Every structure is written in structure tokens, then in C-alpha cells.
Chain A
Amino acid sequence: MKGAEKAVPAISTDDFIKGLWRENPVFVQVLGMCPVLAVSNSAINALAMGLATSFVLVLSNTLVSLLRHGVPRQVRIATFILIIASFVTVVDYLIQAVSLELHRALGAFISLIVVNCLILGRAEAFASKQSVSRSFLDGLGMGLGFTLALLCLGAVREILGSGALFGVALFPAGFQPWTVMILPSGGFFTLGLWLLFFNYLRVRKPAVREAVPGGTP
């Protein structure tokens, strides 16, 4: 098996895991900030946006990988965008069919999944060069990592800004919500704090092990 792996890279769980933590699209790669900041004002919006993006990411990664031998280099970006835009349109119709309320809450940001650089980035950097199964796993991992990050922001912002989580009130009646947290500026505050936390974890670990002197990546 070791020998075979060198010739054709086999599927490994790392394709899936890396998107969740080590190469998390939001906290490590800092990609797709527009929906991260705009739609994370409540946990349910964050979850819906994350899942919609994951859906597009998995399907576009799979299709791009499937077609990778038939698409010449010169027109690859055009075909990627065409594929991504089609899946976004599909998601848009599906969300409208599931819930108009949700569609209203997410508003223009569903259509804007097209220009989320995370999706084009994965198509170009990974799916256009790798096998279908690896691209599928990569899309799934990155998508779930993105969803997880959005949920981290959405939960904090909803708890502080509305005193609730997934619409369930958490505090007694006297709680005065921090309205600023569900306004756009609250998105920046929360993202900043999460980035601080994740970078602290990443820097501290090597420093404790004394593997990297200084520890700043």
C-alpha cells in the first residue's frame, strides 16, 4: 500500500480533517469574509449559510474534478465560475422551496456565494488537480470547517446581541441585549476575538513543546 500511495495519492482522512482545523477556511486561511461577517448575526442564519456554501463547495469540487481532463487551462476559470454559479442558483431555488423566511433572512448573500473566493480557491488549488473522491472529501471538510466557523461567530453574536441561541431565550427577562453585536460592527469584534483565540492556540502549542523557538508562524 505504501508504494501505491506514492504513484497515485490515495484517499486519506487528512483531506477531510485539514479543512476543519489545520487549514480552516475562516480562522486560518481567512477566506470568504463577506458572508462570514454579514450573515453570522444569528446561529440559524450562520448554519444555513454554512450548509448552503458546503453544498455548493462539495458539488463544484466534484464536478470540476470530474471534468479536469476535458477542460483546457486557458478556459478553466470560466468553466469553474459557470459550474459554481449554476450550483448557487440551484441552492437559491432549494432554499426558497424549503423556507421563504430563511431565504429572506439570507437575502442577497445566497447569490454572493458565487464570488466566495473559498469555492473558486478550492476548485483551482485542489479539485482541478486531484481525483474525484479526494476532491469530494476536501470540499466536505472545507465546507464543514466554514460552517463551524460561521456557527462560532453566529452563536456568540446571537447570545450577546439577542440573549438567545437558535431563537431560544437564555437570559432572564431583565437582560439588556448588546445590540451592537448583531450590527455589522459586532461581526468584526467577534471575528477579531476568534482569530485572536485561534492564533493564540497555534502559537502557544509549539512554544510549549519548544519545537519552534519564538513560536510565531
Chain B
Amino acid sequence: MRTTIRVDVSPSSASWPMYRALVGVGVLCGLLIVSVYLLTQPVIARNEAHALQQAVLEVLPGAVVSASFALTAEGGFRRAGDGDDPQRLVHAAYTSRGQLVGVAIEGRAMGYQDVIRILYGYAPQRQRVVGMRVLASRETPGLGDRIEKDPDFLANFTALDVTVTADGLSIEHPVQAVKQGAKSAPWEIDGISGATISSAAVAGILRASTAQWIPLVYRGRAVFVRSGAVNEGG
């Protein structure tokens, strides 16, 4: 029995060509993948940073530069480094003269088909959401994907009221989704008929994300403003 399962890898055995072929091809392919990875990684990282920067400037009209900040354990903010968790990052954007335009925040939740990721811009001075962009969604073409392009729907996010309460711990009027055409208060979001679930999902993301982030960003706004002044000096 023992001899039948013995593995002989000496060059004279019949299985030697098989090991040689598999290991040889494996090493060759491994080298190929590693070298392509090393060559393309800097370009891919630059592409990703560029795409994020574009999105940040798009949801905060008037901004020309952006800087990322990480949420600290104490609930404050500091300049983000390389190893920070992307889920705890926000992106402040400034005019060419270093004035703070606002802070872009990412939110995500389940849509009709798959997770929808959005980025929205918050202007702390006016206490409004001033822009929203869908970063990733797989909603039904022609129906659900109107959350990305429908001008009436996107108009909801040019001055959405997210005023923080006097104690600075929560939002006075949580963001509310209503039926298309029923919007009457500045904290309500008009849905899209025909894309009910997708538009409600976006409103849901904003409701949850603003409740969590806006009070934190509002209380910590001095950090973002100061950082802009430093940028201008440097």
C-alpha cells in the first residue's frame, strides 16, 4: 500500500515532468502578475484619487482643491494619512483663496439591485447639503438609474436643510422622503415616480448619514476652516 501512494519527485521518475511543468508555469505566471501589479499600482492609485477629487469638487460648487480628514476616536477631525479607514474619512474643499466651501461625505446603503454609494457636499456656514452625486449603483437602466441624472431629483440636493439643533448633537429636521411633487419643507426630498425604491434609498442614505455625520462635522468645523487658511499660507 505504502509504495502506491509514495510521491517520487526525483528527476528520473515519471511524475517529474508534471512537477516541472506545473511549478515552472506557476513561477512564470507569478512573476508576470507581480511585475504588472507593481507597474500599474501607482497609476491605479492616481486614477482613484483623481476620481474622488473630481466627485468632491462636483458636489461642492465653487471649490478647486480638496483635502481629506479622518474622524478621531474623540469625535474630532485631523488631516488624513495613508493608513486611515476610508469609512471614517470626509473631504473638505476650498476656493482658490483658501476659503472653506464645504465638506464632502460618503454614504452607502442597499438600493433595488445592489449597494448604492453616494457622495454629498455639506456647507457648514449655511447648514445645507449643496450637492449630491451617485458614485456607484447598479439600478435598473431607464428606471432606477434616474437617481443619477434626473434634473428634478438632483435639484433636491442644492439646498437641503440639515440645520443642527442648539445643543449640536442632532439635526433639527431629519431628512424626509416624500412623493414626487409633494415637497413643501426644505428638509424634504421629492422622490421619482417610476424609481420609487431607488430614490427612497438615496433619501434613506442621506437621512442616516446626515444624522451621523453632520453634527460631528458642524462641531468640528473650525478644524476645516483653519486648515484652509494654512493651505493659503503655504
A interface residues (Cβ-Cβ under 8 A, vs B): 41, 67, 70-72, 74-75, 78-79, 82-83, 85-87, 89-90, 93-94, 96-97, 99-100, 104, 161-162, 177, 179, 182-183
A71 lies within 8 A of B44 (CB): no
**8 Å CB contacts to A: which residues of B92-137?**
136
Cα A99 to Cα B141 with chains together (Å): 21
What is the minimal beta-carbon distance from B50 to any residue of chain A, in angstroms?
Answer: 9
**Contact A90-B33, Cβ < 8 Å, known A100-B51, A177-B142, A183-B140:** yes
**Complex interface: chain A residues within 8 A of B22 (CB):** 75, 78-79, 82
Additional 6 contacts, C-beta under 8 A, given A85-B29, A97-B40, A104-B136: A72-B18, A82-B22, A83-B29, A86-B33, A90-B36, A94-B36
What is the minimal beta-carbon distance from A43 to any residue of chain B, in angstroms?
Answer: 15
**Complex interface: chain B residues within 8 A of A78 (CB):** 22
Interface of A is mostly: helix
Smallest CB-CB separation from B19: which chain A residue?
A75
What is the minimal beta-carbon distance from A48 to any residue of chain B, in angstroms?
Answer: 16
Q: Among the interface residues A74, A86, A100, A182, which one has the most CB atoms of the partner chain B within 10 A?
A: A86
Type the 1/0 row for B18-39, where 1 means its CB is closer than 8 Å to any CB of A.
Answer: 1011101110011011001100
Q: Does B43 contact A (CB under 8 A)?
A: yes
Q: Does B152 contact A (CB under 8 A)?
A: no
A96 lies within 8 A of B141 (CB): no
**Contact A89-B25, Cβ < 8 Å, known A97-B43, A179-B141:** no
**Complex interface: chain B residues within 8 A of A90 (CB):** 32-33, 36
B21 lies within 8 A of A75 (CB): yes
Cα A177 to Cα B44 with chains together (Å): 35
What is the minimal beta-carbon distance from B226 to any residue of chain A, in angstroms?
Answer: 33
What is the minimal beta-carbon distance from B116 to any residue of chain A, in angstroms?
Answer: 13
**Complex interface: chain B residues within 8 A of A96 (CB):** 40, 44, 47
Q: Does B8 contact A (CB under 8 A)?
A: no
B36 lies within 8 A of A82 (CB): no
Q: Does B181 contact A (CB under 8 A)?
A: no
Q: Does B17 contact A (CB under 8 A)?
A: yes
**Contact A100-B48, Cβ < 8 Å, known A82-B29, A86-B29, A93-B40:** yes
Cα A71 to Cα B22 with chains together (Å): 8
B43 lies within 8 A of A79 (CB): no
**Contact A83-B25, Cβ < 8 Å, known A75-B18, A93-B36, A94-B36:** yes
B141 lies within 8 A of A70 (CB): no
Cα A79 to Cα B142 with chains together (Å): 44
B51 lies within 8 A of A182 (CB): no
**Complex interface: chain B residues within 8 A of A162 (CB):** 141
